Amino acid sequence: MVGLNPPRGFEGSIMERLSTFQTLQGTLPGAGLPWLDQHRRESLVAFGAQGFPTTRDEEWQYLPASSFSGSQFQLQAPKIEETFDRDLMLPECLTLVFKDGRRIPSDQTPLPQGLEILDIKEAFVQYPEEVQALLDLPEPASQHSLSLLVAALAGEGVWIRVTAGAHIETPIQILQLSSSPDHLSALRHFISLEKNAEATVIETHAGPNQTPYLALSMTRIKLEENASLDHYKHQSEGDQGRHFGGIYVDQAPTSRFQQTQAAFGGAIARTEIHSRLDRASECVLEGVFLAQDRTQLDTHTRLRHAGPHATSRDDYRGIAGGRGRGVFQGRIIVEPGAQKTQAEMQCRNLLLSREAEIDAKPQLEIHADDVKCAHGLTVGQLDPGAIFYLASRGVDEDEARQLLTFGFANEIVERIRPVALKGRIQHELGQRLTQSIKGSSQE
Amino acid sequence: MLSIRHLEARVEEKPILKGLNLEIKAGEVHAIMGPNGSGKSTLSHVLAGRPGYEVTGGTVTFDGHDLLSLKPEERAREGVFLAFQYPVEIPGVSNIYLLKAALNAVRRHRGEPEVDAMDFLQLVKARIRSLNLDEQFLYRGVNEGFSGGEKKRNEILQMAILEPKLCILDETDSGLDIDALKVVADGVNALRSSDRSFVMVTHYQRLLDYIKPDFVHVLAQGQIVRSGGPELAHELEAKGYGWLESAPGL
C-alpha cells in the first residue's frame, strides 16, 4: 500500500499510525460493502500521500492542519458510558446524541411526516446509491487531510432525508460530545432535502475542559430545487479539544441554504463551509467567533457561483482576547456563466488585548462580467465614544466594554431563529466575555 | 447644587472655556445660549467628564463633591445626566438591557438592591407611554436606526428612569420637528421638581417656548457674558448673536 509511511516532518504524529488505521477500517460499521471499503481505503491512501497541509498551502496559511496532528489520539475509545449532560439537549428539538463518535440512545419521539432519519450504517445498506452519490465533495479544495481522515475512519453519523414538499417545523439537533482523553472521533452526516422541502438542523459540539481529544466531523448536504435548509453550528469544545467540522453543500437551482455558526471552544478549531450554488439559489453564511486564552479559531468559507442569478452573503464577526487567535478566510468564485451573481462578504473583527491576533482574508475570483461582488473586512477596537456614552449612564468601564463586545457579536446571534438555541448562545457569549474582560483588565 | 468657578478647559490644545462662572440651585432651570463655537457643548461634555476635554483651571462643585475628580460613571451615579446632542448607536444591545444596567449601576451606588424584573418592566412601560413611544422600542438596539426624534426621546426616557439630580440637555432641540419637540419638552417638564436642576444648552430660543427657563445665560468666547431672565432669550432671538462681537468687555 502506497503512502503508509509518515511523510517527512510528521514522524511521531498521527501519520505514523496509518497501518493501524488500515486494520481499523475492517472493523468499522459498513465494512464489507465493496464500494465503501474502496472509498475508505482510497481516502486513507490519499491522506497518507497528501500529508497534512502546511502554511505554504494558501488554504491553510494561518492555521496549518499539522496543528491537529498528534500521535496519542486513539480511535478505539474505552467503554463509553451512555450517560451525558441532558441539559445540552435543546428543548423542543429532535435530538440525536453522539458521544466519542458513537450513537447514544436518546428519547425517541415519533418522526413527523416526510422526515427520515437513520444511522449512516443503516443507510449504507438501505440506500447505497444515494450514499455513494454524496461521498464526493463539491470542491477539490474540500479534499484535504482532515476531510480525507473523516472519510477513511467515520463509521457513524446520521442520514437525514426530507421528502419533496415536506416542511419539518421541529429542529433536528445533532449533539456531538467528546468525553475520553486522547480520543479521536470521526462522524459523517448526510442531509438531503428534496424539492421544496424545508428543515432546520442544529449541530452542537461540546467536550470537557483539560482533556485533549480530536473531534472530526463532516456534514454533506444536498439541496434539491427550491429546498430550504437552516443550519446552525454551536461549537463549544473543551479548552484542550481539537475540532474540525466541514460542511459541504450542493445547491440546486432556487434552493436556499442559511448557516449560522457560533464558535467559542477548543484549543484549535476549524470550521469549513463550502457551497456550490446553481442558478438563482441563495446562500447566507453568518457567524461569530470568540477566541480567548490560547484558543485558535478558524472559519473558512468557499462559495462557488456556478449558475446565474444566485446570491450569497457572508457576514462574520470575530473577537479575540487574551492570546487568542482568529482566522477568517472567505473565497467567492464566480464561474464564467454565472452572470447576475450578487455576492457580498463582510467580516468585522474586534481585538480585546494586545496579544490577540486576527487574520482576515477575502478572496474573490470573478470570471463573469455582469456581477455585483463586494467585500469588507475590518479589524478594530471598541469605540471610545460608545464607552463614554455608557459611562455617562453610570456603567463602569469593564461593564461597558463587555456590553459593547456582546452587542458586536449579538448583532449576528439575535438573528438565530430557534429561540432556545439563541438563548444558549447568548448566555455562553455573555459568560465567556465576563471572564475575558475581567482577565484583560487584571493584566 | 452646582457651582462652577473660573472654569477653563481646552480640547486638543485649543482653549475653549476661559473662566466660566455659573451657580445653579436645586429646582432651577438654566438655559445657556450662544453662537456656534462659543463653548456650549464643551461645557456639557466637561461636566459629564468626556475624555479629551482637559480642564486647565477652576473648580466645579456638585452637591458638595469635587465633580472634576470623579470618573464619568461616578458622576452619573451621583446624579449628573447628560442628554447627548448625538446619541451613540449601540447595535446588538437592546434598549431595555441598557436601561436596566444603568439603573442597577445607580442603585448599587446608592446602596439599594438591584431592581426587581417585574417592577422594572412596569416602570419602563409607564415611561415609554408618556413619551409616545411604542413598546417595541425597548427591544431594539440602543439608538440603532432610530430617527432623530426617537434618539432624543430615548435620551429623555433614560433620564426619566435614572432620575438624576442635574440634567444637562445638549442641543436637545436640534433636528426635531415641532411635534417631536413638544413630546420631548413634555417629557422634560414632567421631570421638573424642586430637587432637580436643569442646564439646557441651545442655539435657538425655540426650545425655551416649551421648557420655560428660570435663567438665561449668554455664552461667548468661553465666558458667560450676560445673564438674565426668560426675556433675554427673546432679545437674542430678535437681535441675533452679532451684537456680541461689539459687546463691551470682550
Asked if residues A267 and A240 have their Cβ atoms less than 8 Å apart, the reply is yes
Q: B134: Cβ–Cβ under 8 A, 6 or more apart, which residues?
A: B128
- The 8-class DSSP code of residue A379 comes to E
Q: How confident is the model at residue A13 (pLDDT cuts 50, 70, 90)?
A: low
**CB A208: neighbour CB atoms within 10 A?**
17
CB contact under 8 A, A388 and B51: yes
Task: Give the Cα separation of A180 and A162 in Å (integer).
Answer: 34
Report pLDDT for B246: 59
DSSP A264: -
Q: Computed over its alpha carbons, how large is the radius of gyration of chain B? A: 18
Mean pLDDT of A349-359: 93
CA dihedral B154, B157, B161, B163 (to 10 degrees): 110
Which chain B residues are within 8 Å of A408, Cβ to Cβ? Answer: 91-92
Contacts of A155 (CB under 8 A, 6+ apart): A28, A29, A30, A31, A101, A120, A121, A186
Q: Compare CB distances from B105 to A384, A385, A395 and report the shortest one's residue.
A: A395
| pLDDT at residue number B37 | 84
Chain B partners of A394 at a C-beta cutoff of 8 Å?
Answer: 73, 76-77, 102, 105-106, 109, 162
Give the residue-averaged pLDDT of A109-131. 95
Q: Residue B205's Cα: distance from chain center in Å? A: 16
Contact assessment for residue B62 and residue B168, using Cβ atoms and an 8 Å cutoff:
no
Residues paired with residue A328 on neighbouring β-strands, in sequence order: A299, A360
Chain B residues with CB-CB distance to A399 below 8 A: 101, 105
CA distance A210 to A51: 28
- What does pLDDT average to over chain B? 91
Under an 8 A CB cutoff, do A403 and B98 touch?
yes
When comparing pLDDT for A53 and A87, which is higher?
A87
Give the model's pLDDT for residue B175. 83
- Count CB neighbours of B109 within 10 A: 15
Distance from CA of A393 to the nearest CA of B (A): 6
Q: Which residues pair with B30 in a beta bridge?
A: B199, B215
Query: What is the per-residue pLDDT for A56?
Result: 78
CB A363 within 8 A of CB A330: yes
pLDDT at position B97 over 50? yes
The number of angstroms, rounded, from the C-alpha of B105 to the middle of its chain's C-alpha atoms is 19
Question: Which 3 state secondary structure label does DSSP give B221?
Answer: coil
Distance of CA A165 to the CA centre of its chain: 27
Angstrom CA distances, B132 to A111, A121, B25, B99, B140, stand at 48, 61, 31, 17, 16
Which of A233, A259, A242 lies closest to A297, judged by CA?
A242
User: Cα–Cα distance between A357 and A351 in angstroms, integer?
Assistant: 7
- Furthest CA-CA distance within chain B: 59
| CB-CB neighbors (< 8 A) of A388 in chain B | 50-51, 72
Do A392 and B93 make contact, defined as CB atoms within 8 angstroms? no
Q: Give the chain A residue nearest B94 (alpha carbons).
A: A407
CA distance A299 to chain B (A): 22
pLDDT digits (tens, 9 = 90+) for A377-403: 999 989 999 999 999 999 998 899 999
Is it the case that residue B99 has pLDDT exceeding 80? Answer: yes
The whole-angstrom distance between B241's CA and the closest CA on chain A is 31
Integer Cα distance of B13 and A256 in angstroms? 56
ipTM for the predicted complex comes to: 0.95
**Residue A152: its H or E element:** helix A145-153
Record: contact A394-B158, CB cut-off 8 A? no
pLDDT tens-place string over residues A276-303: 999 999 999 999 999 998 999 999 999 9
B82 touches B48 (CB < 8 A) = yes
Q: How far is CA A109 from CA A4, A86, A105, A113, in A?
A: 45, 16, 12, 12
Contacts of A112 (CB under 8 A, 6+ apart): A166, A168, A169, A170
| Partner-chain residue, chosen from B73, B106, B141, that has the shortest CB–CB distance to A391 | B73
Q: Is the pLDDT of residue A8 over 60?
A: no
Answer whether B158 sits within 8 Å of A392, measured CB to CB. no
Q: What is the pLDDT of residue A7?
A: 46
The predicted structure's pLDDT at residue A2? 41
Interval A178-237: pLDDT, tens = 999 888 999 999 999 999 999 999 999 999 999 999 999 999 999 999 999 999 999 999
Provide, rounded to the nearest whole percent, the portion of chain B with pLDDT above 90: 72
Residue A110 phi/psi, 5-degree rounding, is: -60, 140
Instruction: Specify the pairing of strand A198-206 against strand A172-177.
Output: parallel
pLDDT value of residue A1: 40
How many Cα atoms sit within 13 Å of B103 on the Cβ side? 23
pLDDT of residue A60 exceeding 90: no
Q: Which residues contact A429 (CB under 8 A, 6 or more apart)?
A: A262, A264, A288, A290, A406, A409, A410, A413
Q: Is residue A432 within 8 Å of residue A288, measured between CB atoms?
A: no
| Residue that wins the pLDDT comparison between A75 and B33 | B33
**DSSP letter string, A283-350:** EEEEEEEEE-TT-EEEEEEEEEE-STT-EEEEEEEEEE-TT-EEEEEEEEEE-TT-TT-EEEEEEEEE
Interchain pair B51, A397: CB under 8 A: no
Residues of B with CB under 8 A from a CB of A: 48-51, 71-73, 75-77, 81-82, 84, 87-88, 90-93, 97-98, 101-102, 105-106, 109, 141-142, 158, 162
| Position with higher pLDDT, A112 vs A80 | A112
pLDDT class of A268 with cuts at 50, 70, 90? very high
| pLDDT at res. A430 | 94
DSSP A53: -
Residue A312, pLDDT score = 98
A410: closest chain B residue by CA: B92
| Per-chain mean pLDDT for chain A | 91
Residue of A388, A398, A411, A413 best to disrupt the B interface, most CBs of B under 10 A? A388
Task: Let me know: does B189 contact B211? Beta carbons within 8 Å.
Answer: yes
Give the model's pLDDT for residue B250. 45
**CA separation, residue A71 to residues A18, A46, A182, A214, A216 (Å):** 11, 19, 9, 11, 15
Separation of alpha carbons A160 and A191, rounded Å: 5
Predicted structure pTM score: 0.90
Closest CA to A121 of A27, A254, A38, A45: A27
Stretch A365-373: mean pLDDT? 95
For chain A, give the percent of residues with pLDDT over 70: 93
Share of chain A above pLDDT 90, in %: 76
A395 vs B75, B92, B101: nearest CB: B101
